[in-house]
Each structure stands twice: as structure tokens, then as C-alpha cells.
């Protein structure tokens, strides 16, 4: 029996060209041979057989490099099947220059980390930096056996869905068991629970939680929910791209920083199946992958992250800025950055509230992807988030229909995404369409659709409706504390000056800084800011810029 602690992690390469296969194995062995075992295969089928042996023998696989164009099984097909065996192994695609465009499009099928152009001479410049990055990502996620959380629930239970989404978005490994299956029933019996208690969550140490709140669930799976101190240099509220950007720059520049998030890091961007127009990722990056890297980066620099904490109030006490949580506890700092982003608007259709989490979902709800297999899926919305979701679900569903109020997607969706959608046969766009009613008893079974121009009504059968219909800021808790525009977005900087006059109650002998709110020392970044650019890159930039202004503010004190 192999001692897993002594086994070297594997770097696997597969290429049907013997010369290329030997060359990449040689270059990998030269650089990584002391710490890794290099395994090469001449076909996707041989590589899968090798992976199955490694799985049975308990050997970890760190990274896989697969040629894009191979007979019988392409590199994409191989990586897709290999992920079932080693989901935490990192993945790269080897491609010739002539195949670059096709490879980049195909990468959307599998969450590939990098692609490499052949030839890669010199390897010190073109091969090793990529493999170094793959190994670093693999080490960050770990390949040792994972103690999984068990979740027992029902497919059409909204609380069960909420628990799964919370764990998935916070990158907590879990295994799902349905109460309709024998193993789920056995777990309920062992836990002394009944189907009325779902979701039932069982932690690796055997602790049982019945219908837990998010705070209870977060604490049980090891997420931090309580601050370690009473006072910080900087509190960042909201862990979307803007908040993560602020946390990275704040902590890296020496500010004792705490990042507070109500649900999960990433915000709306974290739910995106693929972001393809973010600088530096030519082959795209999933929202969860981007935000997970940002979270790990923030933690590496010393940011303290608090999960499942609902902020309900903000006030000034002398030079301190105090944040109060829903449970009555509070934390204070010299400065605060508001990066609370926006939330999807709810669907104005009969039955939608009752069936939310039971067939009606806001955002991508990627945990539902397997249950969409062979189904007719409907997506409401015409912006990029809706288009990205449609492309993602098209890999699983029999058909995907995008329902748009307007004449077309051209006014609200990026051109590259429209081209992708037009190239996928299983995606249809239905313009001038409104959802009047969602129908079902315990779950969604049918949609009642109305043509906005003709008022013609028809009904379609579906169990899955994903809604992306604009967004609103969650800022009611700031009423009377900072100035907001009529839509609830927070005004900052020059927008606070009326006829050259500073906002009422402003006490400092200077104008508000560009991202500063009407309360000195409270800054705003990202989508929640009035007149902001609603893009991931802009949000990250504003988060970094807000930290610079925080330093300037602290120097003034």
C-alpha cells in the first residue's frame, strides 16, 4: 500500500504527438522532478486510465496539461472527464497558434486555468510560469482528503436550496443527500431528525443542525462570524469586487482591516458563470474563481473576513465610525468603506415570491445546473449577467430561452456575448416578453408569458426560471446617515456639492474627497455609489482608490 504522505504529487501531460509529449515531459521533469512525479500519456483514453489508477492508489494529482487537438478525444473532452476524478487538480490546455480562437471558445466548456501556445521555447519564460501558477493554485486548495459537510434536504425546499447556495458560494465542500433517497433517510434517522427538520446539516465532527440560520451554518463550518477586536483602522462592508479590492489594498498597505459580508464573498460577480471582458483573462474567468483568488489574496495580507453578518446601522462617535450588526453587537474603526453593491430586483409576477428557491432563482444559482439536464430553462433579463447564465446553462439544459422586455439584446449586452449566444443552437432569444405568472404547487411547473406589444399570452412548461432584471442598492439602513440619490445610491465627492456648497452637517474645512460620502471618513466604492460604472474592473479600481483616500483622510486627523 502506498503511503499517501510519501507519494509525490503528479503532473500529468497528454499529447498524441510523441515528440511533443516527450518534450513537455522532459521540460517538466527538469524543473519539477524533485518534488513531483511526471506522468505522460499519448491519448486522452490512456490518460484517463492512468488517472483512474492514481485515484485507486491514493496518489494526488496537482496539474494536468492536455493537447487541444487529439484524435478520438480532444483535450477539452479529456479535461471534462478528468475533473470527475480529480476536481481539485489544476488544468491547462496546449494549443497550436492556428487553433487559439477555437481553443479559447472551447475553454468555456471546462473551467481551464490557462492555455499554452506550442512551442513554448524558452520554457523558463513560457512554460514554467504557467505551471508555477497551477501548482500554487493547487496547493492553495489542497489535495488532502476533505471532510465534507453533509446536507440533507429536498430538491424543491427553498431553505435547502439556500443552505446549498451559502455553502457553495463560501467554497465549503459539502455533499447533498435527498430525503427521497435511502442514504438521505438513513442520515436523518441517525441524526434523530425528520423531513420536517430540513435542511439538516451534519458537520464532519458529527454535529447536527436543523434548519440552521446562515450565522449558525457559518459558525458550524468554520467561517468566522465574530470580530477578533473591537477597533480597526478600516472596516469594509461588502465583499464584492469593490470590497475585495479595498480589503487587498488596505491590508497590504498596513491598515488593520476587517471585511464584513452578509452572504458570501464575490457579490453578484461571484455568481457569474464566466467573465470574459476582465483585464488579464483572455480566456475568461468564472466569478467564483476570480473572487476566491481575491479573498485568499486579502487574507494573505492580513484581512479579517466576517461571514453572514448583517450590518444594520452606521454612526459617528467622535472620530470613530461605528458599525452595528443585526444581533446588537458592534465594531468600530477610524474609517469605513461602503461596498455593499446591489441586489437583483424581484420578479413582478404572480406566484414568484411563493416559488422563490423552488424553481424561481435570482442569479445564476449554479448549484441547480445538474438538475437542469435535459430540461427547458428560461432566463429573464437582457444584460451580461443574463447572457453569461444562458451560456452556462446551455451546457446542461435541453434548451435555454432568454426573455427580454426590449426589442433585442443589443442595447444592454456586450457584443462578444451576443455573438456567443447566436452561435449556440440551443439558446433562443424571445424579445418583447414579460413573465405574467409562475405556476406550481410545491415547485415551478409552468410560466405564463405575455407579448408586450400585442398582449398575446401563452404558457410554457418549465421547472427552472433564473431572473436577472436589474438591481437596486441595499441602503435603507443608511437613511439619515449619508446622502443618497432618489434611487438609493450613495452620493460622493463632487456630487455632494450644490452650487459650490458643502453638504449639510459637513464639519471639515475641505470639500469631500472624490469617493467620500457626506459623513467624513466614510467612503463608497463600486455599484452602490451614485453614478458609478457598473463593471467589475471599475469596482476593483474604486476599491483600491478608496483606500488611497482613506490614507489621506487619516493623515488629516
How confident is the prediction for the chain on average, in pLDDT?
A: 89
Give the pLDDT score at 367.
78
How far is residue 487's CA from residue 476's CA, in Å, rounded to a whole number? 11
Give the pLDDT score at 75.
85
Q: How much is the average pLDDT of 488-511?
A: 91
What is the chain's length?
557
Residue 188, φ and ψ in degrees, nearest 5? -60, -45
What are the distances in angstroms from CA 306 to CA 3, 170, 291?
Answer: 38, 11, 15
| Across 5-9, 219-223, 348-352, least confident range | 5-9
How far is residue 279's CA from residue 469's CA, in Å, rounded to a whole number? 26
Give yes or no for a contact between 300 and 248, defined as CB atoms under 8 angstroms apart.
Answer: no
Instruction: Fold for 149-220, please state it.
Output: Glutaredoxin (3.40.30)
Q: Which CATH superfamily is domain 360-469 in?
A: FAD/NAD(P)-binding domain (3.50.50.60)
Q: Which of 207-221, 322-336, 365-379 has the highest mean pLDDT?
A: 322-336
The tens digit of pLDDT for each residue in 315-333 reads 999 999 999 999 999 999 9
DSSP letters spanning 308-359 = S--EEEEEEETTEEEEEETTS-EEEEEEEEE---EEEPPP-SBTTTTTBTTT
The tens digit of pLDDT for each residue in 134-172 reads 998 888 776 544 467 899 999 899 999 999 989 988 888
| Positive or negative torsion for Cα 507, 510, 511, 517 | negative
What are the distances in angstroms from CA 371 to CA 154, 165, 223, 428, 464?
Answer: 12, 14, 28, 20, 9
For residue 29, the tally of other CB atoms under 10 A from its CB is: 15
CATH 3.40.50.2300 in the chain is located at: 10-141
For residue 452, pLDDT beyond 80: yes
CATH 3.40.30.10 in the chain is located at: 149-220
For residue 87, pLDDT beyond 90: no
Give the pLDDT score at 102.
55
Give the pLDDT score at 3.
39
Q: Which CATH superfamily is domain 231-343+472-556 in?
A: FAD/NAD(P)-binding domain (3.50.50.60)
**Residue 343 binned pLDDT confidence (cut-offs 50, 70, 90):** confident
- Express as a percent the part of the chain with pLDDT over 90: 61
For residue 401, pLDDT beyond 70: yes
Q: How much is the average pLDDT of 39-60?
A: 87
Say whether domain 10-141 belongs to CATH 3.40.50.280: no
Give the pLDDT score at 2.
35
Give the pLDDT score at 1.
30
The tens digit of pLDDT for each residue in 347-369 reads 999 999 999 999 999 887 777 88
239: DSSP letter: -
Q: Which of 45-54, 180-189, 234-243 has the highest mean pLDDT?
A: 234-243
Which residues on adjacent β-strands are paired with residue 444? none
Give the pLDDT score at 250.
97
Q: How much is the average pLDDT of 458-462?
A: 95
3-class secondary structure for 460-515?
EECCEEEECCCEEECCHHHCCCCCECCCCCECCHHHHCECCECCCCCCCCCCCCCC
Give the pLDDT score at 28.
94
For residue 208, the tally of other CB atoms under 10 A from its CB is: 19
For residue 44, the tally of other CB atoms under 10 A from its CB is: 24
CATH 3.50.50.60 in the chain is located at: 231-343+472-556, 360-469
Helix (H, G, I), strand (E, B) or coil at 404: coil
Q: How much is the average pLDDT of 250-259?
A: 97
For residue 101, pLDDT beyond 70: no
Amino acid at each position: 500500500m502506498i503511503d499517501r504522505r510519501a507519494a509525490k504529487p503528479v503532473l500529468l501531460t497528454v499529447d498524441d504527438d510523441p515528440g511533443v509529449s516527450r518534450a513537455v515531459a522532459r521540460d517538466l521533469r527538469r524543473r519539477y522532478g524533485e518534488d513531483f512525479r511526471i506522468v505522460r500519456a499519448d491519448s486522452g483514453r490512456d490518460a484517463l486510465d492512468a488517472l483512474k489508477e492514481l485515484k485507486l492508489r491514493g496518489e494526488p494529482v496537482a496539474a494536468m496539461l492536455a493537447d487541444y487537438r487529439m484524435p478520438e478525444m480532444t483535450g477539452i473532452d479529456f479535461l471534462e472527464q478528468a475533473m470527475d476524478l480529480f476536481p481539485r487538480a489544476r488544468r491547462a490546455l496546449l494549443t497550436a497558434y492556428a487553433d487559439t480562437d477555437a481553443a479559447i471558445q472551447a475553454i468555456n466548456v471546462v473551467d481551464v486555468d490557462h492555455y499554452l501556445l506550442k512551442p513554448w521555447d524558452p520554457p523558463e519564460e513560457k512554460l514554467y510560469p504557467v505551471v508555477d501558477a497551477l501548482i500554487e493554485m493547487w496547493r492553495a486548495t489542497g489535495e488532502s482528503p476533505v471532510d465534507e459537510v453533509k446536507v440533507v434536504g429536498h430538491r424543491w425546499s427553498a431553505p435547502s436550496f439556500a443552505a446549498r447556495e451559502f455553502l457553495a458560494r463560501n467554497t465549503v465542500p459539502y455533499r447533498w443527500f435527498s430525503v427521497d433517497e435511502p442514504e438521505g433517510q438513513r442520515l436523518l434517522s441517525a441524526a434523530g431528525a425528520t423531513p420536517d427538520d430540513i435542511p439538516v446539516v451534519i458537520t464532519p465532527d458529527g454535529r447536527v443542525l436543523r434548519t440552521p440560520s446562515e450565522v449558525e451554518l457559518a459558525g458550524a463550518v468554520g467561517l468566522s462570524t465574530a470580530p477578533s477586536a473591537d477597533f480597526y483602522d478600516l472596516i469594509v462592508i461588502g465583499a464584492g469586487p469593490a470590497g475585495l479590492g479595498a480589503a487587498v489594498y488596505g491590508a497590504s498597505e498596513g491598515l488593520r482591516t476587517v471585511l464584513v459580508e452578509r452572504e458570501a464573498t464575490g457579490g453578484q460577480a461571484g455568481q457569474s458563470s464566466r467573465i470574459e471582458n476582465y483585464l488579464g483573462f483572455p480566456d475568461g474567468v468564472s466569478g467564483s474563481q476570480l473572487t476566491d483568488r481575491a479573498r485568499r489574496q486579502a487574507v494573505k495580507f492580513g484581512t479579517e473576513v466576517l461571514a453572514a453578518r448583517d450590518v444594520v446601522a452606521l454612526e459617528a462617535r467622535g472620530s470613530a465610525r461605528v458599525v452595528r450588526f443585526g444581533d446588537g453587537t458592534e465594531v468600530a474603526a477610524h474609517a469605513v468603506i461602503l461596498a455593499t453593491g446591489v441586489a437583483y430586483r424581484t420578479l413582478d409576477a404572480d406566484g414568484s415570491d411563493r416559488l422563490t428557491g423552488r424553481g424561481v432563482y435570482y442569479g445564476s444559482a449554479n448549484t441547480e445546473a445538474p438538475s437542469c439536464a435535459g430540461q427547458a430553462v428560461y432566463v429573464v433579463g437582457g444584460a451580461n449577467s443574463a447572457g453569461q447564465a444562458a451560456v452556462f446553462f446551455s451546457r446542461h439544459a435541453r434548451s435555454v430561452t432568454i426573455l427580454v422586455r426590449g426589442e433585442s439584446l443589443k442595447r444592454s449586452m456586450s457584443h462578444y456575448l451576443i455573438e456567443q449566444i447566436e452561435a449556440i443552437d440551443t439558446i433562443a432569444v424571445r424579445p418583447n416578453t414579460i413573465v405574467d405568472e409562475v405556476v406550481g404547487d410545491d415547485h415551478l411547473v409552468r410560466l405564463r408569458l405575455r407579448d408586450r406589444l400585442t398582449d398575446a399570452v401563452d404558457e410554457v412548461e418549465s421547472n427552472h426560471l433564473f431572473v436577472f432584471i436589474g438591481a437596486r442598492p441595499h441602503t435603507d439602513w443608511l437613511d439619515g446617515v449619508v446622502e443618497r440619490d432618489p434611487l438609493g445610491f450613495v452620493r460622493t465627492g463632487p456630487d455632494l456639492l450644490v452650487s459650490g456648497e458643502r453638504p449639510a452637517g459637513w464639519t471639515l474645512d475641505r470639500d469631500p474627497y472624490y469617493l467620500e460620502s457626506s459623513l467624513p471618513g466614510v467612503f463608497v466604492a463600486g455599484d452602490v455609489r451614485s453614478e458609478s460604472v457598473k463593471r467589475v474592473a471599475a469596482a476593483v479600481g474604486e476599491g483600491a482608490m478608496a483606500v488611497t483616500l482613506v490614507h489621506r483622510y487619516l493623515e488629516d486627523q
